[in-house]
Structure 1
Amino acid sequence: MAARTRGRRCILRLAVVLPIFVGMCGTAPGHADNDWKIEELLSRFAYFNQSGFGYQSQAGPGPKGSEDLHVWNPAFYLRARQNEKVEHTMVVPVDIITSASTDAIDVMTSASRTNETITFDITTRYEEPADDTMSFRYGFHLEEWYRSVFAGFGYARELAEDNATIAMNVNGYVDVFRPYGPFGGLQPPGDKRDTRGALNANLEVSQILSRTTLVKAGYGVTWQAGELITPWNSVPVGCNAEVTACLGRTQERFPNRRLRNAFSGLLAQHIPVTHSTLRLHYRFYFDDFDVRAHTMKVELYQYATPRAYIRASYRAHHQNSVYFWTRAIDLVDFDPTAPRTADSDLAEFWAHEVGGKLMIYVDPNASVHRVDVGFTRYWRTNDLIVDVVSLGYARLF
């Protein structure tokens, strides 16, 4: 408990100190062309309210346990220019999470009732010559039970007098985490750790077709290896036909390799007469767990005044389940070495999302200030609803 408390205090100190430090940097004047210069500061607060039920949850009241989740998410973004060729961006989301699904894990200490996380995600871009941009991404993630580091490299090339762009990047991730015990029990004794890693590569091509039309196509592939489970997820065991009463639970089990692929496309059309922009997205995903998923999204941007616009969006998603998904395991046929999961995120479902955002620009004497407020509702056919409210403020220098 003492280690967890120290970890929480460290994360909260970072969350408090960072915006103060960034604000001080933003007010520092530059004295030469090669001095560091803050170009954009952004702070945003979002609140996530999730409700629903899933068979992987141990929170009760039955085998299909509560998935109630509350997340308070302050986030900070900084863009700074080191010189005319080098630019840095830093994104720091801080999550404070209350999750019913994990409450039953630490039945002695109840340590999982709240969980604080913080991520530092930094990208350095280098432009030389004018048509070429190299980027280096690096950072880490801290959580009570989980540590992660990541790094990547990207390259982008402007073509056809800047009317076309080809971009690619490669990223690597390593996670180290503390596993939870099976059957809804306590954490295992000692200092056991599990690990996993991932390699990701992406290719994207965009083309300006006219003064008002842009198209984009992309492909991404991710290879994962190691312990791929979510440690606190479990699978009901020995249940009746309706899966309303069960004898117990066992921890989920995954294959130790996964290959994931995704193709995506975008069409953006601006309508000058109405000061509107329409964006159409499509994504096809498939992997070697036999998942096939289709996602479509429509966004409409509409300027209400020269300094304010409204964004409305709708997204539809359908996927089938992984080949080893189940609501419950029959004791007669139970194979402890076979893959298994009851995770509702890996089941078959339809999902829908509607959202809106209002963005307002304010232009005082020396800089531009921007304020936005948004709301999103997400729901799906396997009993899950998520509402998100966000408020953001940005300053451009």
Structure 2
Amino acid sequence: MISIKNTLLIILILGVQQAWSQDEEQTYKKRVLETTEVDFLTSYYSQDGDNAAVTGGKGTEELTDVTGTIIVSIPLNDDDVLTIDAGVSAYTSASSSNVDPFDKGEADPFVASSGASQSDTWVNLTGTYSHSSDDRNDLWSAKFSVSSEYDYFSLGFGGSYTKLFNEKNTEISVNGNVYLDNWTTIYPFELRPFGEGGVGFFRPDEITGNTNYNPSFSELDKTNRNSYSLGLGLSQILHKNVQGLISFDVINQQGLLSTPFQRVYFSDVADSFIDNFQLADDIEQLPDGRLKFAVGGRLNWYLNEIVSLRTYYRYYFDDWGINSHTASLEASVKLSDKFTLYPSYRFYNQSAADYFAPYESHLSTEEFYTSDYDLSEYSANQYGLGVSYTDIFTKMHISKFGLKSIDLKFYQYDRDTSFSSSIITAGVKFVMD
């Protein structure tokens, strides 16, 4: 028979052993992020077309943009990560330069002017804090962002929650974001005297066509725009080689949803010109509310050790009358242990917004109107090719940082409204030793 003394000794040993095991589990718990990671991203974007919204749906859409971004992810402890994302984007635009087409030389919607609106710089700073539970089945995150450019300022707040269960085979997520934006209203140059209560246009002796240029223009009474979004997602491992995801998103926007410097020309108003440039009849006018919905699905298929496929489909609709379909396919082709190739294709089709009409097709009696071809009916195709270099052992070093990966991608985008664009992106990831 075991004595009381021996029983107490066994209980003590088992208790110490359990505490030791728990302490050992906590000591060797896998960190969410092992060490600080730094990403350097850059891109060059170029576009052109013949339907500039700044000049009422007719004119050059030429634009170039160069972007640089740095993302730093810092592990605060085993469970928490702080990510700081800072970016700068500088562009030159022949289209937006024609906000004031009369500053120099002969005015023409297909020729860039040299005014202040020809170029601009956008800056952004985003901070994200994320926390994972001990069993890594719960993930919380919160973020704050601020961005600014010449005529625009934005504050953003957001957060997300992700839950994994069913032995991590199932994942549900919810995220929400709020953006509080404010415009500095910049109007087409020829409309400014009328909006300010002036006595007339600044160069009346140079007007041809309808020389009695007198637009019924009034300044906008709102300069803010608030956006609220909510997203839901469900991911499921369907097979050892197949993973599926469905998502639902809703966005509610309120405030100034039109762009103050985008012109509109009416078919029932006689045309007025200076040089080859038609003077605006009004600016774009759109409702002060918009509700957007999107339902999407992804299916990722691991074929073998060399090839994986990623498919995606999304259906979108809003209360402005736009319905759209997006479908894409990307393949991951492993060329070696370190190099992977990413060919891709994306198709997009949308119907026109209720308030869209081409150049000089609107009537002055309408309440809302725009000639922005982003709101028109169109179809588009995008072709992409990327290559990635990955070294999990980070053999190459710069000071205390080891090179983990390099990514290069190229995309060509064409739509059937004469618009086309291309973008080259590059990314380099370093980890701290």
TM-score, structure 1 normalization: 0.83
Matches within 5 A, 1:113-124: 113-124=118-129
Q: Could you say which residue in structure 2 is the equivalent of 1:339? A: 368
Matches within 5 A, 1:303-322: 303-322=334-353
Please state how far the C-alpha of 1:193 moved relative to its aligned partner: 7.1
The residue matched to 1:104 in structure 2 has which SS?
Answer: helix
C-alpha distance in 1 between matches for 2:53 and 2:390: 44
**Residues 1:133 and 2:149 are matched in the alignment:** no
Q: Could you say which residue in structure 2 is the equivalent of 1:374? A: 409
Q: Could you say which residue in structure 2 is the equivalent of 1:71? A: 65
C-alpha distance in 2 between matches for 1:74 and 1:144: 18
Q: Could you say which residue in structure 1 is the equivalent of 2:158? A: 152
Q: Could you say which residue in structure 2 is the equivalent of 1:250? A: 282
- Name whichever of 312-321 and 86-95 sits farther off: 86-95
C-alpha distance in 2 between matches for 1:245 and 1:102: 14
Percent sequence identity over aligned pairs: 24
The residue matched to 1:391 in structure 2 has which SS?
Answer: strand
C-alpha distance in 2 between matches for 1:198 and 1:127: 28
- Name whichever of 346-355 and 83-92 sits farther off: 83-92
Please state how far the C-alpha of 1:329 moved relative to its aligned partner: 4.6
Contact 1:105 1:186 in 2 (8 A): no
Query: 261, 265, 270: which is aligned to 2:297?
Result: 265
C-alpha distance in 1 between matches for 2:94 and 2:279: 21
Please state how far the C-alpha of 1:94 moved relative to its aligned partner: 1.2
- Name the amino acid aligned to 1:285: Y
**Residues 1:293 and 2:307 are matched in the alignment:** no
* Root mean square deviation, CA, Å: 2.8
Query: 153, 173, 178: which is aligned to 1:172?
Result: 178
C-alpha distance in 2 between matches for 1:249 and 1:311: 48
Q: Could you say which residue in structure 2 is the equivalent of 1:280? A: 311
Query: 231, 249, 269: which is aligned to 1:202?
Result: 231
C-alpha distance in 1 between matches for 2:334 and 2:268: 56
Query: 28, 36, 42: which is aligned to 1:39?
Result: 36
- Name the amino acid aligned to 2:294: A
Contact 1:296 1:315 in 2 (8 A): yes
C-alpha distance in 2 between matches for 1:286 and 1:297: 18
C-alpha distance in 2 between matches for 1:308 and 1:55: 41
| Structure 1: runs of 5+ lacking an equivalent | 1-32
- Name the amino acid aligned to 1:213: V
C-alpha distance in 2 between matches for 1:390 and 1:260: 29
Contact 1:105 1:185 in 2 (8 A): no
Please state how far the C-alpha of 1:392 moved relative to its aligned partner: 1.9
Q: Which has the larger radius of gyration?
A: 2
**Residues 1:395 and 2:430 are matched in the alignment:** yes
Please state how far the C-alpha of 1:112 moved relative to its aligned partner: 1.0
Contact 1:165 1:207 in 2 (8 A): yes
C-alpha distance in 1 between matches for 2:93 and 2:35: 37
- Name whichever of 224-233 and 197-206 sits farther off: 224-233
C-alpha distance in 2 between matches for 1:71 and 1:170: 29
Contact 2:333 2:341 in 1 (8 A): yes
- Name the amino acid aligned to 2:50: F
The residue matched to 1:387 in structure 2 has which SS?
Answer: strand
C-alpha distance in 2 between matches for 1:76 and 1:55: 32
Q: Could you say which residue in structure 2 is the equivalent of 1:4? A: none
Contact 2:58 2:359 in 1 (8 A): no
- Name the amino acid aligned to 2:384: G
C-alpha distance in 2 between matches for 1:194 and 1:73: 27
The count of corresponding residues between Structure 1 and Structure 2 is 356
- Name the amino acid aligned to 2:85: V
- Name the amino acid aligned to 1:89: T
- Name the amino acid aligned to 2:117: S
Contact 1:182 1:249 in 2 (8 A): no
C-alpha distance in 2 between matches for 1:213 and 1:289: 37
Runs of 4+ more than 6 Å apart: 187-190
From the superposition, tell whether residues 72 and 88 of structure 1 become closer, same or farther in structure 2 (CA, over 3 Å): same
The residue matched to 2:98 in structure 1 has which SS?
Answer: coil
C-alpha distance in 2 between matches for 1:57 and 1:134: 42
The residue matched to 1:54 in structure 2 has which SS?
Answer: coil
The residue matched to 2:85 in structure 1 has which SS?
Answer: strand
C-alpha distance in 1 between matches for 2:225 and 2:314: 26
- Name the amino acid aligned to 2:310: R
- Name the amino acid aligned to 2:302: H
Contact 1:123 1:135 in 2 (8 A): yes
Q: Which structure shows the higher strand fraction?
A: 1
Please state how far the C-alpha of 1:335 moved relative to its aligned partner: 2.3
The residue matched to 1:112 in structure 2 has which SS?
Answer: helix
Q: Could you say which residue in structure 1 is the equivalent of 2:10? A: none
The residue matched to 1:66 in structure 2 has which SS?
Answer: coil
C-alpha distance in 1 between matches for 2:163 and 2:315: 25
C-alpha distance in 1 between matches for 2:174 and 2:279: 50
- Name the amino acid aligned to 1:310: L
C-alpha distance in 1 between matches for 2:237 and 2:142: 26
TM-score, structure 2 normalization: 0.76
Contact 1:46 1:390 in 2 (8 A): yes
Contact 1:183 1:251 in 2 (8 A): no
